[in-house]
Each structure stands twice: as structure tokens, then as C-alpha cells.
């Protein structure tokens, strides 16, 4: 029985899911960023593709609900408990990791206003870097603007490190160490910091969640593609190569699977 038959649901392709989201948005007259990310969470999708899809939604004149809580610190971050930096059950960590979790727990969460202020500094810093590349002239003002931008990136990232930990917890047990999941998630967070556009009205943590998830799931998928052969199988394969080479010399032709199996005391299927 197929998955669809078991659940009674038809599994959509990415394009079908995107079309369904736009159709739902047209009917409702609006969409939330949370709705979009939730419906696309099961697909392997580059963050850049996600950005393009958000542009497609806006092109359809569908209003994106970008309301934020008056106090983002009190908001439930998509059901992530940002104050819970405990280690998942069954996960062993060393003292440096415990120290890291303790340190990021000391960093205050940002308000929406603070996020916007930092985002503006980041954009100004990037613009200053572009100006420097084009003119080749470093001025005190450009230097100060670039430094402010870099400091803003650092502050925005540090304030969201606990979000990475909360998301990483959900992927424990899928073939990667907890620390590796955190490191991959941090890479996604850095991307989110560099790409964040405050003018679209999205809360940074909601926006960053997509990038963090994609970085982690892509790393897990990449690791899963790496074929790990047990030591005893490596020895068997090496012996098979030697036997095949010897039979080729003795017979003057490529040996059959049956001949190789007989020489190795194995069935052809093995």
C-alpha cells in the first residue's frame, strides 16, 4: 500500500504545492509567512527559490500578513522554546558545548524595533562596501559604516543562536551529531542575516527559520548520500577484485559470477 493510500492524501509536487498556496492566498485575500513556510517545509528547496516564490506571491497582489506581536520576546517562536537550551535526551556533549549553550542563553532576544535598526545598519554597511569596491576610495565615513554593518550582523546573529539550537533539536537522531546540526544551522543563520530585508515586514526569526532548516536538512541529505561500507565488506570487495583478476589471467576471459563465487566460496547472489 502506498503512502497516499495509507493516509488518504495525495502527495503534491513542489510546483503543485506552490500553486495551491497561491490559490489559497487568492481566495483568502492574504497569506502569512508562517503558512507558506509550513506548507513548503517538506520540500528540498533552495532558500533563493523560496525568496523568488515570495516575490511571485506579491506579484499576484496577495497581501502578506506581516503583523508582529507588540513584544516579540513574549511571542512563541513557531512553537520553539527559545529559553530551553537543555540537551535532547540521549545526546552526549562535552564541556565546551555546555559552555556554548550557557553563553548563548545569556544573550537577550531582540524586539522588532531592534531588529529593524540592525537590519538598516547591515544594509548601509553593504552599500558602503559596494561603494568602496566601485570607487576604490576608503573614507572615514565608509569605514565607520562598514564596521557598524559588521557589528550589526554579529549582534543579529548572536541574538538568534538559541533559535538554531531549538531547531537543531528536532533533527537529532537523523545521522548527525547534535553539535554538527548546530554548526550547520548557524551557517543558515548567517545567510539569513545577510539576506534579511526588513522592508518586507517579516519578523527576522520567522524568516531565519527557513534558512536554518534548509541548511540542516541539506547537510543531513548530503551525509546520507555518502555510502559507508563496513570494514568486513571492504575486505570482501578487495578479495573479489583479486580473485577476478586471477581468474581473468587463468581463463583468458572475464570470469562469470558463478566462477567468482565458487572461488570465493560465495553464492553468485552475494
258 is a domain residue: yes
Cell numbers of 117, please?
535598526
CA-to-CA dists, residue 228 to 145, 206, 218, 224, angstroms: 49, 36, 18, 9
3-class DSSP assignment, residue 110: coil
Specify whether 126 is located in the same domain as 257. no
Residues 6+ apart with CB under 8 A from 101: 85, 87, 165
Specify whether 89 is located in the same domain as 142. yes
pLDDT above 90 covers a percentage of the chain that reads: 29
User: Per mean pLDDT, which range of 68-72, 112-116, 132-136, 175-179 is the poorest?
Assistant: 68-72
What is the C-alpha separation between 129 and 144, in angstroms, rounded? 11
159 is a domain residue: yes
Tens of pLDDT, residues 32-82: 876 787 778 667 676 668 878 888 898 888 887 644 433 333 344 455 666
What is the C-alpha separation between 211 and 71, in angstroms, rounded? 24
What is the C-alpha separation between 248 and 93, in angstroms, rounded? 52
3-class DSSP assignment, residue 80: strand
Residues 6+ apart with CB under 8 A from 144: none
Specify whether 74 is located in the same domain as 116. yes
Structural domains in the chain (count): 3
Q: Output the pLDDT for position 77.
A: 44
Range of the domain at 110: 69-209+218-225
What is the C-alpha separation between 185 and 242, in angstroms, rounded? 45
- Residue closest to 119 by CA, chosen among 232, 21, 195: 195
Q: How confident is the model at residue 135 (pLDDT cuts 50, 70, 90)?
A: very high
Specify whether 99 is located in the same domain as 201. yes
Q: Output the pLDDT for position 124.
A: 96
What is the C-alpha separation between 164 and 216, in angstroms, rounded? 10
> Is the pLDDT reported for residue 158 higher than 90?
yes
Does this model's pTM top 0.85? My answer is no
Q: Output the pLDDT for position 69.
A: 37
Cell numbers of 43, please?
520540500
Specify whether 21 is located in the same domain as 153. no
Annotate 164-199 with DSSP letters as a single string: HHHHHHTTTTSSS-HHHHHHHHHHHHHHHHHH--GG
Annotate 2-56 with DSSP letters as a single string: -HHHHHS-PPPPHHHHHHHHHHHHHHHSEEEHHHHHHHHTTS---HHHHHHHHHH
Specify whether 120 is located in the same domain as 189. yes
User: Per mean pLDDT, which range of 52-61, 112-121, 167-176, 231-240 is the poorest?
Assistant: 231-240
270 is a domain residue: no
Specify whether 259 is located in the same domain as 185. no
269 is a domain residue: no
Specify whether 190 is located in the same domain as 96. yes
Find the mean pLDDT for residues 137-149: 95
Specify whether 94 is located in the same domain as 159. yes
Specify whether 60 is located in the same domain as 75. no
Amino acid at each position: 500500500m502506498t503512502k497516499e493510500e495509507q493516509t488518504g492524501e495525495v502527495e503534491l509536487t513542489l510546483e503543485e504545492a506552490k500553486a495551491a498556496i497561491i490559490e489559497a492566498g487568492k481566495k483568502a485575500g492574504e497569506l502569512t509567512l508562517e503558512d507558506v513556510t509550513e506548507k513548503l517545509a517538506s520540500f528540498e528547496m533552495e532558500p533563493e527559490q523560496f525568496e523568488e516564490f515570495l516575490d511571485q506571491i506579491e506579484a499576484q497582489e496577495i497581501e502578506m500578513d506581516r503583523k508582529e506581536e507588540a513584544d516579540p520576546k513574549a511571542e512563541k517562536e513557531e512553537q520553539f522554546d527559545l529559553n530551553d537550551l537543555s540537551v535532547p535526551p540521549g545526546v552526549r556533549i562535552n564541556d565546551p558545548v555546555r559552555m556554548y549553550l550557557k553563553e548563548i542563553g545569556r544573550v537577550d532576544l531582540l524586539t522588532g524595533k531592534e531588529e529593524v535598526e540592525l537590519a538598516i545598519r547591515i544594509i548601509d554597511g553593504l552599500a558602503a562596501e559596494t561603494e568602496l569596491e566601485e570607487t576604490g576610495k576608503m573614507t572615514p565615513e565608509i569605514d565607520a559604516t562598514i564596521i557598524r554593518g559588521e557589528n550589526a550582523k554579529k549582534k543579529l546573529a548572536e541574538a538568534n543562536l538559541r533559535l538554531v539550537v531549538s531547531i537543531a533539536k528536532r533533527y537529532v537522531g537523523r545521522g548527525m551529531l547534535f553539535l554538527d546540526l548546530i554548526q550547520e544551522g548557524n551557517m543558515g543563520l548567517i545567510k539569513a542575516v545577510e539576506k534579511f530585508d526588513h522592508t518586507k515586514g517579516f519578523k527576522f526569526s520567522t524568516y531565519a527559520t527557513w534558512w536554518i532548516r534548509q541548511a540542516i536538512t541539506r547537510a543531513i541529505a548530503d551525509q546520507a548520500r555518502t555510502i559507508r561500507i563496513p570494514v568486513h565488506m571492504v575486505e570482501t570487495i578487495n578479495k573479489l577484485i583479486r580473485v577476478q583478476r586471477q581468474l581473468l589471467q587463468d581463463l583468458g576471459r572475464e570470469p562469470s559470477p558463478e566462477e567468482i563465487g565458487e572461488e570465493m566460496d560465495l553464492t553468485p547472489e552475494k
